[in-house]
């Protein structure tokens, strides 16, 4: 397993994530609907809005997964936030970054992963909208485009939630 390195803008990214005022909050019905839509439209058993904090990835919204967080050092999303575009892993069991990752070898058995970074207006990638499957899978260009459309709606909702919740408490 190869853990993702920290982004060069980690301090700014973490400050932007904190300014959203959503870490450890209750789920949001609009985000829950977007996550369920991602799972259904992309025919995936698991979909998540994953926020990458200092030591964990925390799931603000989830479909098909009971866990509320996992350690950052085993997260696929930690790799995805380093990219401008989607991170697509068709078969994690054959990918040197993930083949022996406990999320692959044990529960929830992440084999296929597609995650689009949640990039805020200031350029900070705070997490991902991702879909996960338990078997190998190729995602079409149309499916990745749909993931981007849903990701943009998630970012819009995160920005709206931050505006509703106001300055740091």
Tokens of 164: 């509703």
What's the chain's average pLDDT? 96
Residue 116: what pLDDT?
98
Q: What is the Cα–Cα distance from 119 to 92, expressed in whole angstroms?
A: 24
Q: How confident is the model at residue 96 (pLDDT cuts 50, 70, 90)?
A: very high
What is the per-residue pLDDT across 3-43, written as a single tens digit (0 to 9) for each? 999 999 999 999 999 999 999 999 999 999 999 999 999 99
Tokens of 76: 């696929």
Residues 6 or more apart in contact with residue 61 via CB below 8 angstroms: 27, 28, 31, 32, 34, 35, 48, 49
Q: How confident is the model at residue 50 (pLDDT cuts 50, 70, 90)?
A: very high
pLDDT, average across residues 115-134: 97
pLDDT, average across residues 140-145: 98
Q: What are the chain's domains?
A: 10-164 (3.30.450.40)
H helix or E strand, kind and range, residue 39: helix 29-41
pLDDT, average across residues 114-142: 97
């Amino acid at each position: 397993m190869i853990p993702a390195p920290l982004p060069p803008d980690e301090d700014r990214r973490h400050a932007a994530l904190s300014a959203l005022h959503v870490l450890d909050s209750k789920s949001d019905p609009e985000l829950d609907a977007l996550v369920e839509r991602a799972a259904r439209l992309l025919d995936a058993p698991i979909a998540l809005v994953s926020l990458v904090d200092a030591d964990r990835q925390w799931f603000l919204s989830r479909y098909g997964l009971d866990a509320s967080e996992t350690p950052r050092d085993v997260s696929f999303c930690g790799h995805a936030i380093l990219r401008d575009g989607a991170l697509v892993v068709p078969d994690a069991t054959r990918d040197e970054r993930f083949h022996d990752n406990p999320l692959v070898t044990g529960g929830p058995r992440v084999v296929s992963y597609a995650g689009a970074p949640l990039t805020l207006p200031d350029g900070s990638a705070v997490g991902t909208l991702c879909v996960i499957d338990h078997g190998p899978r190729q995602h079409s260009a149309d499916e990745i485009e749909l993931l981007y459309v849903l990701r943009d709606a998630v970012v819009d909702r995160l920005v709206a939630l931050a505006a509703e919740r106001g300055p740091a408490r």
